[in-house]
Amino acid sequence: MSSAQTIIAFAVALLAASSPAANAAGSPADRAFVAKVSQGGMFEVQAGKLADQKGSTPDIRDFGAMEAHDHMPVGEKLKAVAGREGISFGSDLNPQFAGKLAHLKSMSGPAFDAAYMEQMSAIHAADGAAFAKEARDGGSADFRAFAAETYVIVQRHIGAIHAAPPRQVARPQT
């Protein structure tokens, strides 16, 4: 191989290594974060819309509307950040979350309200921890900023869950 061919081969390899496609996989931790919170976010939007329709009290309907309203743009922002990092995710719920949504759809009245708020309490606790960890340890500045911004929303939702009347949220006995 001549010197010119070596230089060209090196330049091509350097360009390929610095292209967005070379970093298409994102870090394993970022991929796991996206997989987790994308599913949770889609579930929260769909369950929120359901609660807005089926909730038996204004508090449940309002909380559901807030969930759908707040999590739709979060999902779009996640899609944009993940896309820039070369990580994609589907638009359908996985079997676990599809089953949870189907269960909620089968319920009505106060039983629906309690089950919905129990689901929201559990998912926000898990997501809060995931967003805090990603804000601190995320593989890119974009993921860290997204997670920090969204963590504030999750904490606000946790506050609303704790402010809900006790009959609407199943709380562990102490």
Report the alpha-carbon distance of residue 3 to residue 7 in Å, rounded: 6
Give start and end residues of each alpha helix (H) in the chain: 3-18, 28-54, 58-84, 95-105, 109-137, 141-163
Residue 4 scores a pLDDT above 80: no
Ramachandran angles phi, psi of 172, nearest 5° = -60, 145
Residue 160 sits at the vertex; the CA angle it makes with 82 and 98, to the nearest 5 degrees, is: 50
Domains of the chain: 25-168 (1.20.1260.10)
Among 48, 37, 41, which Cα is nearest to 129's? 37
Residue 11 scores a pLDDT above 80: no
Region 102-122: mean pLDDT is: 96
Residue 10 scores a pLDDT above 90: no
Pick the more confident residue, 171 or 103: 103
Among 67, 68, 69, 89, which Cα is nearest to 78's? 89
Q: Which residue has the tokens 């939702």?
A: 157
Please give the single-letter amino acid code of residue 163: A
